[in-house]
Amino acid sequence: MLLFLLGRILRLLTLLVAVSVLSFLLLELSPIDPVRAYVGADMLKVGPEQWAKIAEYWGLDQPLPERFARWGMAILRGDFGVSMIFRRPVLAVIGERFLASLALMLTAWVFSGVFGFALGVLAGMKQGTWTDRLIKWYCLTLASTPLFWLALLMLLTFAVWLSWFPIGLGVPAGVPTYEVTLSDRLYHLLLPALTLSITGVAGVALHTRQKLVEVLQSDYVLFARARGESGLQVLLRHGLRNIALPVTTLQFASFSELFGGSILAEQVFSYPGLGQAAVQAGLRGDVPLLLGVVAFSALFVFAGNLAAELLYWLIDPRLRPKGDACEQR
Amino acid sequence: MKKEAVTTLLEVSDLSITFTQYISGLRQRTIRAIINLSVNINHGEVLAIVGASGSGKSLLAHAILGILPGNACVDGKMVYAGELLTPARQAALRGREIALIPQSVNFLDPLMRVGAQVRSGIFNGNSTALQREIFDRYHLAVGTEQLFPFQLSGGMARRVLVATAAVGSARLIIADEPTPGLHPMIVRETLAHLRELSATGSAVMLITHDISAALETADRIAVFYAGTTVETAPASDFCGDGELLRHPYSKALWQALPQNGFQPIDGSQPSIDNLPCGCLFAPRCSLASRDCLTTVPELRSLRGGETRCHHAA
C-alpha cells in the first residue's frame, strides 16, 4: 500500500513537471505577448523604450530555460505570481474560482451519477425492449450534442422564455456580496449544473447499461437463474455488485470530462468559475493565471483518477494482496 | 441399479430446440440445435449423457431448467414427477427441486463469498447451519465460506459447486460437464459425490464427453449425436467389443477408446445448418442403406434399451 502511494506520488510529480514544461513551451510559441497583455489599452502611450524596460523588468529578455527555471523555482516556493486581469495573486484567484466551480461540478457529478446509473440499469435490465431503445436513443442524442449548444438552448428555454432561472452569473447582479444568501447561489448554480450533468448522464447510462448487459450474459448469472433467482433477485444479488466497481471507477475517472465541460458551461452562463477564468486568461494573455490553472486542473484530474484506483483497490477482493481480511482463518 | 425405485422422475419426449438468428439486416435463419430428443431418468439413478462437444448436451440441461436464451424455441414434451413441465412450473422448481452443478468456478459470482452463494440455495431452515454442515460433509474447512471463488483451488471449487446443489433437497440434479480437464483424483472424488447423491434417492443426470467417467458412475448411458439421442443403454452394455450396443455410433464411440482398439471413424458430426435428411449418422455409417439416407429412424425399444437405427437388432 505504502509502495503504491509512493509510486503514485512520484507519477504525480513527473506529470506536473511535464505539464508545466509543455504549457510553458506552448505559451512561448503562442502569439501571446505578456507585455502587450499587461499594457493593454495604454498601448499607444507606451513607447518602445518603456516596452523594453517592462520586458527587462520581467526577465523576458532572458533565454527560455532560465525563465522556466525562475518560474519553476517560484512555483516551488508556492508563488504562482500575480494575475494580470484580476490584479491579485494567482493562487487566491484559483482558490476562489475553484470553490465556485467545485459546487457546480459536484452537483453535476452527483446528478449525472445517480440518474445515469438508474437509467443505465433500467436499460440493461430491459435490454432489447422499447424502454431500452428509448433510453439508448436519448443517451446517444445527448452524447452527440455539443455542450455549448445545449447550454444555449437551456438558457433560451428556461432563463429567457420561461424565466425560471437567472440568465447568468453566480450571484444576483447589483447586490452587495454580504447580502448574497446561500439560496441565491444555489438558484444561480442550478441551471449550469443541470446542463453540465445532462451530457454526463448519457455517458454514465450507456456505460452502466453496457456493463450490466455483460454481467447478465455471464455464466454466473446463468447459474443464478438455474438456481431459481428471478430477474430482480439476479440484479440485486449479482448485477449491482458486479457493475458497481467499474461504474464507480468510471465516475471518478470522468473528472477530466467534467472539467472540460465546466469550461464551456461556465462560459455560456457567465458563471464565475475556474473554467471561465481559464478562458479569460487565455484570451487576454494572462500567462501566470493560465499556467496556474493548467497545473491545477492537472492536479484535479489526477486526484479523480487516483480516487478511482484507490477505490478499486480497496473494494475488489481480487486486487487485494494476500494475507488480507478475506484470506484469514 | 436399485430395483425398488424404477419410477420415472423426468421424461423428455420429442424435444426440439431451434434458435432464430439474424444473419444480415432483417434476414432471419433458424438453427435446429436439438431434434426429436427423447430421454428419461428414474429416481435414484445416475443417467450419463455422452456425446461430442457441440452435440447439444448443455442445451438439454438448460431446456429442462427453462433457462434458454430468449431466441430459443422449445418444442416437445417434458413431464416431471407426473406433471407437465411448463415454464411456470420450471420457474417454481429450478433451484429447489431441480438443481444444476455447473462446469467451472466461473459460474460463481466472482465478488460474492462462496458461503453466501451456497446459502442462497437454501430456502428453509437455518441456512448458516445447513451450509456449515454441507461444507463439513465435503471436507471444506470452516474458513472456506469466507473465501471468494478466485481463491479456491481446483478441488475445493469442485466441492463447492457440488455443495450448491446438494445443500437443497433437489430430486433431480443435472451435472453439466462437472469434471472438465481435472486431475483424475478430483474427477473420482466428484463422481463419488454424484453417486452419493443418487444413493439418497435423487436422480442425477451426468452430462459429459468423458465415457470412462460416465461408465464408472452411471446406471444408464444415453449417447448423443448431432442434437439427438441415438441410443440409451445400461452401462453394463458397454463391454467387450461393444457387441451389446445397439447403434453403430455408440459402437464406434466405444471402439475409439484407447483401451478398446483406438479405432476412429471417418468424418465428423454434421454441422447444425446442414443436417442430412435421413438418419443423422448415415453419412458416416458403414451399415447405411438407401432407407437410412431418406427416412429418419424412429426411436424404438430394444433389449432393455432404446435406439434410433433401422438396422439395430
Domain locations in chain B as residue ranges: 3-21+31-44+56-89+219-307
Residue A63: C-alpha distances to residues A67, A70, A243 (Å):
6, 11, 54
User: Is pLDDT of A121 > 90?
Assistant: yes
- Shared-domain flag, residues A234 and A112: yes
pLDDT value of position B222: 92
CATH superfamily for domain B3-21+31-44+56-89+219-307: P-loop containing nucleotide triphosphate hydrolases (3.40.50.300)
- Weakest-pLDDT range from A82-91, A95-104, A113-122, A242-251: A82-91
Q: Is residue A1 part of a domain?
A: no
Q: Is residue A13 part of a domain?
A: no
Mean pLDDT taken over chain A: 81
Distance from CA of A223 to the nearest CA of B (A): 6
Cα–Cα distance for residue pair B173/B165, rounded to 1 Å:
7
Distance from CA of B86 to the nearest CA of A (A): 15
- Shared-domain flag, residues A148 and A283: yes
**How sure is the predictor about B63, in pLDDT bands with cuts at 50, 70 and 90?**
very high
Q: Of A275, A286, A289, A296, give the one whose Cα is nearest residue A80.
A: A289
pLDDT value of position B138: 87
- Weakest-pLDDT range from A185-194, A312-321, B229-238, B275-284: A312-321
User: Is pLDDT of A3 > 70?
Assistant: yes
Domains contained in chain A, number: 2
Cα–Cα distance for residue pair B20/B191, rounded to 1 Å:
36
A237/B contact by beta carbon, under 8 A: yes
Radius of gyration for chain B, computed over Cα atoms and rounded to the nearest angstrom: 20
pLDDT value of position B45: 92
Q: Are B95 and A229 in contact (CB under 8 A)?
A: yes
Whether residues A317 and B109 touch (CB distance < 8 A) is answered with no
Q: Are B178 and B164 in contact (CB under 8 A)?
A: no
pLDDT value of position B65: 92
- Shared-domain flag, residues A68 and A210: no
Q: Residues 114 to 143 of B: which have CB under 8 A from any A CB?
A: 120-121, 142-143
CATH number of the domain encompassing residue A137: 1.10.3720.10
pLDDT value of position B1: 42
Cα–Cα distance for residue pair B156/B154, rounded to 1 Å:
6
- Weakest-pLDDT range from A29-38, A314-323, B9-18: A314-323
What are the pLDDT digits (tens) for B177-202?
888 777 888 888 889 989 988 998 89
pLDDT value of position A288: 81
State the ipTM, two decimals: 0.86
The contacts of residue B13 (CB under 8 Å, 6+ apart) are: B38, B76, B77, B78, B79
User: Is pLDDT of A128 > 70?
Assistant: yes
Q: Are A221 and A238 in contact (CB under 8 A)?
A: yes
Q: How many CB atoms lie within 10 A of CB A321?
A: 9
What are the pLDDT digits (tens) for B101-119?
988 888 999 888 899 998 8
Comparing alpha-carbon positions, the chain B residue that sits nearest to A328 is: B143
Q: Domain span at residue A106?
A: 91-321
Judging contacts by C-beta atoms under 8 Å, the chain B residues touching residue A132 are none
Q: Is residue A3 part of a domain?
A: no
Mean pLDDT taken over chain B: 85
Comparing alpha-carbon positions, the chain A residue that sits nearest to B63 is: A226
- Shared-domain flag, residues A216 and A161: yes
When pLDDT is averaged across residues A35-53 and rounded to a whole number, the result is 73
> Which of A23, A47, A79 is the last residue in one of the domains?
A79
Q: Is residue A28 part of a domain?
A: no
Judging contacts by C-beta atoms under 8 Å, the chain A residues touching residue B110 are 220, 242, 318
pLDDT value of position B174: 93
Q: Is residue A20 part of a domain?
A: no
Q: Of B136, B139, B135, give the one whose Cα is nearest residue B116.
A: B135
When pLDDT is averaged across residues A101-119 and rounded to a whole number, the result is 89
- Shared-domain flag, residues A102 and A70: no
**How sure is the predictor about A119, in pLDDT bands with cuts at 50, 70 and 90?**
very high
The contacts of residue A213 (CB under 8 Å, 6+ apart) are: A124, A127
Q: Of A244, A295, A314, A250, give the one whose Cα is nearest residue A90.
A: A295
Count how many pairs of residues, chain A against chain B, have C-beta atoms within 8 Å. Answer: 76
pLDDT value of position A325: 43
Comparing alpha-carbon positions, the chain A residue that sits nearest to B113 is: A326
- Shared-domain flag, residues A143 and A277: yes
Distance from CA of A236 to the nearest CA of B (A): 12
